[in-house]
Amino acid sequence: MTRRVHPGAWWLWALGLATAATRTTDPLLLLLVGAVTGTVVAVRRTDDPWARAYGMFLRIGLFVVVVRLVFGAVFAAQAPGTTLVTLPSVTLPSWMAGLRVGGPVTAEGLTVAGYDALRLATVLVCVGAANALAAPSRLLKSVPGALYEVGVAVVVAMTFAPQAVAHVRRVRDAQRLRGRADRGIRSLRRLAMPVLEGALDRSVQLAAAMDARGYGRTAAVPRARRRATAALVLGGLLAVCAGLYGLLDGQAPAALGTPVLLAGTVCAAAGLWLGGRRSPRTRYRPDPWALPEWVTGGSGVLAAAAMTVAGLIGTDGLRPVPGTVPGLPALPAAGVLVALAPVLLRRIRA
């Protein structure tokens, strides 16, 4: 008998891979992260509407790469290196900082722009994998009680994109049955309005159904507990932000990284636990957190940890120099390959 993996485990897995992608500009490692997410999505996704979100995020990532290369060629054309082509140059007025647009486009400048664009695109692909594997309705059940109202709004917003993808298929099928063209620029006008209207109607219906079932009810809580909850949550989230900044910024003090992040996580968790007391609701068949969830989420965390450790010990190849052939460092690559663990699990599905 198969069962679904906890949606939080999928998000933990995807965020771990996204964190690993932010720690490097090596195109081989970034492509490996994208290949891992694509393999897991292809094996574990279902036939639900949100499962098609991965392809949409993949197209967005490709668009980001193209736009970043264009901007790199136009606005950073004066980078030193081997000149590929010379664009017409224009110097902007002084009130626009006197920037120079155009000029010689170098291979090194395009390489740097391509590395940065590929890193951003990989992060987007990781987020798309989480959207394709984690059901929004099941994710809502796992939201802490203190954030339940916010969780309802977030889930309603998250259903817009998957419902839009599903409505695109329905509208195209209807146009094809009527003998109309469903591809090209001309079909966009007949496609845009029905898709937007249908997706918005579905999201509004979901919100109305939640409201009719009494979502968002709260219990009476003493004022002192509310203040303590607000202080713990706000202080914890600020500490988490500071800790993440310390981890991502290699020049930040060591004390600003992991210690602050752990302290902020503890404070935020305590605040969320106190805040959950004001939401008197029960869960019908709560999703378990067992071995498959630990394997799934832990594999993503291990990928992020391997990339972070490789950066701390100074592993060569994480940030290749433009003009050199990028390599594939062993430790980060092994950490990313560990994230394929969800493929090996049996009797589970997204």
Top-confidence residue, 69 or 84? 69
- Which pLDDT value is given to residue 119? 93
- Cα 122 to its chain centre, rounded Å, is 9
- Which pLDDT value is given to residue 13? 94
Mean pLDDT check: name the lowest of 84-88, 158-162, 222-226.
Answer: 158-162
Check pLDDT > 90 for residue 179: no
Q: Is 181 exposed, middle or buried (0-12, 13-18, 19+ CB in 10 A)?
A: exposed
- Which pLDDT value is given to residue 154? 66
- Which pLDDT value is given to residue 82? 76
Average pLDDT of span 158-165: 63
Average pLDDT of span 247-270: 74
Contact between residue 108 and residue 80 where contact means Cβ atoms under 8 Å apart: yes
Amino acid identity at 77: A
Top-confidence residue, 137 or 72? 72
- Quick check: pTM over 0.75? no
Among the listed residues 260, 254, 304, the one whose alpha carbon sits nearest the alpha carbon of residue 123: 304
- Which pLDDT value is given to residue 74? 80
Return d(Cα 276, Cα 274) in angstroms, integer.
5
Average pLDDT of span 49-78: 83
pLDDT digits (tens, 9 = 90+) for 232-248: 878 888 888 887 777 66
Domains of the chain: which residue ranges? Answer: 3-134+289-349, 221-278
